[in-house]
Amino acid sequence: MPTDVLAREIVIKPSNLSASVHALLPTASTVRRLVITRIMSVAKHTSLVLSDVIMAAEDFVRHELAAMDASHDFSHIQRVRANARNLAAMEGLDAEATALVDLAALLHDVRDWKYSGSDDATTGAVTAFLTEQGLNLEIINRLVAIISRVGFKEELAGTNGSGAAPQALALSLEAAIVQDADRLDAIGAIGIARCFTFGGAKHRVLYDPDVPPRDGLSKEQYMAGGAQVTTINHFYEKLLKLKGMMKTSAGSKIAAGRHAFMEQYLQQFYDEWNGRL
């Protein structure tokens, strides 16, 4: 029975009841305990269900990413999950919310548009998988909402009538944590390694001093890429922007150190490129 119905049925006190019958009715504190117990029971059940789905999702994602290059392989997923669990603990999430965060982090790169060529492939594949696992529609929608907000491109303005960048759109704390967790893996030492791995997989030039970074990219321009994209330019077009785009206080603190490391690396890169070191 839903908790609001349970509470409503318990607290109704018809005025014509005898004093002896009134004495049998539970107190307000008893009602509160019953409601809280019911809510905790539902949350515990949800967490147990999600833990089973997480186990199935690990196998699903391993298979999905088996042929991916090392910038977006299963090791990337595991690092993002570790980041997400760490941020969830630092931000005080409960067990159910942490399980949602873990599952969203696990599924966030399935059919990534950078490889699939489709902006809708991720949500379609994730929805199909979660439906097969028997999750209810409310939880599926929550997970899809989290995953759909992870990508950097979702915060770029559109040139096709979509208007300004949607930075102002509200994020749930769960979505903010998964987004920050993924972005932390895009910066720092790991981020540098992933950047050059992805550039190599896409046959990009390392650096060309005659090709400046593109500024003010729209979502469509970012997704289109282009022949003149260089790996070093990607630092300026995306990676160095991420520190200022973190949504959680915990993520911002971690990002600061990783951002500084990238700046040091770039200075070293230019010095070596120009024969100064």
What pLDDT, in 10s, does the model give residues 117-175?
888 899 999 999 999 999 999 999 999 999 999 999 888 865 443 444 454 457 899 99
* 93 assigned to some structural domain: no
pLDDT of amino acid 1: 46
Q: Total structural domains in the chain?
A: 1
Render pLDDT for 186-239 as a digit per residue (tens, 0 to 9): 999 999 999 999 999 999 999 999 999 988 888 888 888 765 689 999 999 999
Structural domain contains residue 195 = yes
Residue 217 falls within a domain, yes or no? yes
The b/e string for 172-186 (b: 16+ C-beta within 10 A; e otherwise) is ebbbbbbbbbbbbbb
Which uninterrupted H or E stretch holds 130? helix 121-132
pLDDT for 226: 63
Binning pLDDT at 50, 70 and 90, where does residue 116 land?
A: confident
Q: How many CB atoms lie within 10 A of CB 259?
A: 20
- Per-residue confidence band for 29, with pLDDT thresholds at 50, 70 and 90: low
C-alpha pair distances (Å), 140 with each of 73, 97, 133, 156: 24, 13, 10, 26
Whether residue 276 lies inside any domain: the answer is: yes
Distance of alpha carbon 277 from alpha carbon 11, whole angstroms:
79
In one-letter notation, the amino acid at residue 261 is F
DSSP string, 6-22: HHHHHH---TTS-HHHH
Quickly state the pLDDT bin for 26 (edges 50, 70, 90).
low
The answer to the question of residue 48 being in a domain is no
CATH code, domain with 245: 1.20.58.1910
Domain assignment present for 42: no
- What is the domain range of residue 271? 159-175+187-277
CA separation (Å) from 186 to 16, 26, 144, 189?
Answer: 68, 56, 22, 9
- pLDDT at residue 162, rounded to an integer: 45
Tell how far CA 176 is from the center of its chain. Answer: 7
* pLDDT at position 199: 96
> What pLDDT shows up at residue 222?
85
Asked if residues 264 and 271 have their Cβ atoms less than 8 Å apart, the reply is no
User: Does the residue 71 lie in any domain?
Assistant: no
Picking from 255, 231, 109, the residue whose alpha carbon sits closest to that of residue 183 is: 255
Task: Quick: pLDDT tens for 71-108.
Answer: 999 999 999 999 999 999 999 999 999 999 999 999 99
Q: Is residue 264 part of a domain?
A: yes
pLDDT of residue 225: 72
Which percentage of the chain shows pLDDT scores above 70?
Answer: 77
| Measured distance CA(8)–CA(163) in Å, rounded | 46
State the pLDDT at residue 130. Answer: 97
Residue 39 has pLDDT above 80, yes or no: no
